Amino acid sequence: MSNYSKIKIILTIFFSIVFFSVVYSQQSSPLDEKIKHGIDLIYNIKFDSAETVFKDVMLNYPDDPSGRFFLAMVDWWRIVLDLDNESHDEIFYAKLEDVIYHCDKILEKNENNINALFFKGGAIGFRGRLRAIRDSWIKSADDGREALPLLKHAFALDSTNLDILFGMGIYNYFADVIPDRFPYIKPLMIFFPKGNKQLGIKLLIEASEKAKFASTEALYFLMTLYYQFEEDFPEARNYALKLVQKYPDNPLFHRYLGRAYIRMGDYETAAGIFRKIYEKSFNGFDGYNLNARREALYYMGIQHRYIGKFDSSATELKMCIDVSKQIDKKGDESGFQTSAALNLGLVYDQMKEREKALETYKYVLSIKDWNDCHELAKRYIDKPYGN
């Protein structure tokens, strides 16, 4: 992953501020149960069913912003599963504006309505997150500055609510990590209070264990922060396992589990996980799209090369390249395509098929360089791999 991509991930997470931080009493109600059921449907990628639930909430609880907010979250997950597809952006923005409008109406009557504060903050935060993904950094930062006071206001009203603590956990962690890890982002941080990384992790763990609505999202954030920022891959694996066990049809959680095993050096287990991801993609499971299929084929091919199953490796790596050609733009090829092509050349050399190896190395040189693949391709053009 490029440094630009890492920065983009960090800022999009940070500017979100609050996510599924829904605030109700700790006593369960019919509305609570509907919301939790709808959230579970979102995480299990049952979008049509989730929309039905939240439209029903809007119909039966017209003065409550929750139905509108979570209806927008269905579109958010459609976006998350295919970030290059911008066809859902406008409807997502429109639904967020609807949430903000209805929350403002509530706050005009009662400025201390915690639900309205959180749903408005969440809507603004998600708007900022998508703006960051689409490289609209100034607007994204403005959204972050607008959302944070709403979160702090709600926290001041009820500092014991575990769903509120989730939002505070996110803020404390990333407000501490970003300036230290990426000093050149500090100018964007001068408008934000300082954070506390360890406090952030503590609050997220507490939310993951006890929060009513934010427990899954807290698990998701713990998984990603341990994977991407702490680089504690066994811990990331542990959280990914919990998420996959609870939501077995969520491709994002599924892929993170495989990635964690890869980073732990356990390619055998990872390849088994990616085999299941490939099968779900091949069988048309929702969300298991071409990006998921490509990643699965790549790691399956790498594992088969490592254990000497060269025919299987060559087949999978060629399929990975073919899928990449469907996804990638010419001249801006992905790391998957470049690395798959390089590894395919290595496989051909190991199979003593030198002409195919040379042809493949030359193909590597014709596409975008990633992680010194061009240098390696030139080396193996001059001297076969393994000699």
- Complete DSSP assignment for 195-225: --HHHHHHHHHHHHHH-SSSHHHHHHHHHHH
pLDDT above 50 (res 3): no
Domain 260-382 has CATH 3.90.700.10: no
pLDDT above 50 (res 20): no
Six token digits for residue 367: 């596409």
Mean pLDDT confidence for 61-66: 92
pLDDT above 70 (res 25): no
The answer to whether 125 touches 100, Cβ cutoff 8 Å, is no
Sorted by where each begins, the domain ranges of the chain are 3-216, 260-382
Predicted TM-score (pTM) of the model is 0.89
Which has more confidence, 72 or 176?
Answer: 72
Burial per residue of 41-62, b for 16 or more beta-carbon CB atoms within 10 angstroms, e otherwise = bbbbbbbeebbebbeebbeeee
d(CA 361, CA 375): 10
Mean pLDDT confidence for 324-351: 96
Q: What is the pLDDT of residue 24?
A: 46
pLDDT above 90 (res 247): yes
Mean predicted lDDT score pLDDT of the chain = 89
CATH class (in words) of the domain with range 3-216 = mainly alpha
Mean pLDDT confidence for 118-132: 87
Q: What is the pLDDT of residue 26?
A: 46
Q: What is the pLDDT of residue 295?
A: 98
The pLDDT confidence band at residue 28, using thresholds 50, 70 and 90, is low
Six token digits for residue 255: 């892929």
Angle at alpha carbon of residue 192, lines to 187 and 198, rounded to 5° = 110
Q: What is the pLDDT of residue 14?
A: 52
Closest CA to 182 of 11, 1, 2: 11
Which has more confidence, 16 or 156?
Answer: 156
In a 10 Å sphere around its CB, with 0-12 CB exposed, 13-18 middle and 19+ buried, how is residue 93 labelled? middle
d(CA 60, CA 7): 42
The answer to whether 53 touches 23, Cβ cutoff 8 Å, is no
d(CA 70, CA 51): 8
Q: What is the pLDDT of residue 361?
A: 98
Q: What is the pLDDT of residue 21?
A: 47
CA dist list (Å): 169 to 151, 152, 176: 11, 12, 11
Minimum mean pLDDT among 70-79, 184-193, 203-212: which range? 184-193
Q: What is the pLDDT of residue 129?
A: 83
The pLDDT confidence band at residue 190, using thresholds 50, 70 and 90, is low
Which has more confidence, 164 or 236?
Answer: 236
Query: Do the first three CATH levels of 3-216 and 260-382 match, i.e. the same topology?
Result: yes
Tens digits of residue pLDDT in 253-270: 999 999 999 999 999 999
Mean pLDDT confidence for 219-246: 96
Mean pLDDT confidence for 211-228: 91
Contacting residues for 238 by C-beta, under 8 A, at least 6 apart: none
pLDDT above 70 (res 346): yes
Q: What is the pLDDT of residue 22?
A: 47
CA dist list (Å): 206 to 210, 219, 229: 6, 10, 20
